[in-house]
């Protein structure tokens, strides 16, 4: 009797599971998923906001981007070098030379010329560092193990590691992409692929990066064909590979890392009265009030509008040119350039005479390149100088 009763229960359970299975399958077939007693619409067997848009909203703004428009912006280069450009391009199309696409390539020698013209004013000669901007060369990968033993100290460790392209960055592809997408600071996305290859080659050379066992010299030419030979010194300095073909191997790689005692701090722990001095000195405060711009109304309006002066008496085109070409240096005292609005600094500048000020601005002075790197006429750039002078009285 006992066996018969349990057999009936087992059959009933199996039947119920079978019915449920058919029910769930039918739901998926009809584009519905059940999770926690809640039904969700599905698409290709998946559900959730990332896969299914449940909002009943139709947009009819603008048009679909063309293939070339997408190519102009789709320039990210990953460590596998899949999207590293082979040709020089313009407006998303390959530039033709003698009837063939022009191969993108650049030498170290040419890269030094381009660096001095576009980068040196911020990052210093030979990428050794500038006022207020990162040092790109130098440092040792072996020094990365040096830790800040007590972050509360003003000088936690006098010998803290210098993190640069050569000592810290794991992939040269990141360097190429960053330059291509964001540099030079005053005119990003204006460099050709060949120019980016050249500047990348120069920065690799000043960091003494080796290819095939030899340090890159000034005659070395970088292109897509030999880019994969670059192995950065700190390529294994970050988390291990977890996106492996065998998922279990990724777990093993991470487990091995976390089990290594050498990656953890070896300093003495402080459990009481660790911070010396006034705690208020450790706080970082935002000096600019962000409230007025924090809750801007959402809009889909993207059409170009001609700048309109709001009764300030300032020419919006001139002030816009200042923001584009000059503000990077003239709004930061740490760089050493006279800051906009600093009356004393500009009084000293004007003591040389307006003609000299114009001449220095147009031809360049100290770390400032001619016209600050701007592609403007002399008269247009003089208007920016006048704007800065008048705004600093």
Each residue's pLDDT, cut to its tens digit, for the chain (393 residues) gives: 444 444 444 455 555 545 455 444 554 455 565 555 567 788 887 877 777 777 776 667 778 888 888 877 888 898 888 889 999 987 778 889 899 999 999 999 999 999 988 888 788 888 888 766 888 998 888 888 766 555 555 555 656 788 899 999 999 999 999 999 899 887 888 899 999 999 999 999 999 998 888 888 989 999 999 999 999 999 888 777 776 778 788 888 888 888 888 777 666 777 887 777 776 666 666 666 666 666 666 666 656 555 555 555 577 788 888 887 788 788 777 667 888 888 888 888 888 888 988 988 888 877 677 887 777 888 888 898 898 888 888
Contact 193, 89 (CB under 8 A): yes
Q: What are phi and psi of 87, to 5 degrees?
A: -120, 160
Contacts of 179 by beta carbon, 8 Å cutoff, 6+ apart = 191, 196, 199, 200
Closest CA to 270 of 127, 113, 156: 156
Contact 354, 363 (CB under 8 A): no
């Amino acid at each position: 009797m006992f066996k018969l009763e349990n057999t009936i229960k087992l059959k009933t359970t199996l039947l119920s599971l079978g019915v449920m299975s058919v029910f769930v399958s039918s739901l998926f077939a009809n584009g519905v998923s059940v999770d926690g007693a809640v039904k969700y619409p599905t698409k290709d067997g998946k559900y959730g906001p990332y896969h299914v848009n449940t909002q009943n909203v139709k947009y009819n703004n603008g048009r679909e981007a063309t293939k070339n428009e997408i190519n102009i912006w789709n320039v990210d280069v990953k460590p596998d070098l899949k999207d590293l450009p082979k040709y020089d391009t313009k407006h998303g199309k390959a530039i033709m030379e003698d009837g063939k696409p022009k191969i993108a390539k650049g030498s170290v020698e040419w890269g030094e010329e381009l660096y001095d013209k576009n980068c040196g004013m911020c990052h210093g000669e030979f990428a050794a560092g500038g006022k207020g901007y990162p040092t790109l060369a130098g440092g040792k990968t072996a020094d990365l193990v040096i830790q800040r033993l007590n972050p509360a100290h003003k000088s936690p460790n006098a010998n803290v590691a210098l993190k640069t392209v050569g000592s810290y960055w794991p992939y040269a592809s990141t360097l190429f992409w960053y330059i291509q997408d964001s540099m030079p600071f005053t005119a990003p996305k204006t460099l050709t692929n060949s120019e980016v290859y050249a500047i990348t080659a120069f920065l690799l050379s000043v960091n003494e990066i080796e290819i095939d066992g030899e340090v890159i010299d000034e005659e070395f030419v970088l292109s897509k064909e030999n880019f994969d030979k670059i192995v950065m010194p700190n390529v294994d300095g970050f988390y291990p590979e977890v996106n492996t073909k065998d998922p279990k191997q990724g777990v093993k790689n991470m487990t091995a890392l976390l089990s290594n005692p050498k990656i953890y701090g070896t300093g003495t722990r402080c459990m009481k009265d660790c911070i010396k001095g006034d705690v208020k000195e450790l706080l970082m405060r935002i000096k600019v009030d962000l409230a007025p711009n924090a809750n801007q109304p959402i809009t889909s309006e993207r059409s170009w509008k001609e700048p309109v002066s709001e009764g300030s008496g300032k020419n919006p085109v001139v002030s816009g040119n200042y923001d584009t070409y000059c503000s990077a240096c003239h709004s930061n005292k740490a760089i050493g350039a006279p800051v906009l609005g600093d009356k004393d600094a500009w009084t000293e500048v004007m003591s040389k005479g307006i003609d000299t000020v114009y001449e220095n601005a147009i031809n360049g002075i100290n770390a400032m390149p001619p016209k600050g790197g701007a592609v403007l006429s002399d008269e247009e750039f003089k208007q920016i100088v006048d704007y800065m002078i008048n705004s600093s009285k």
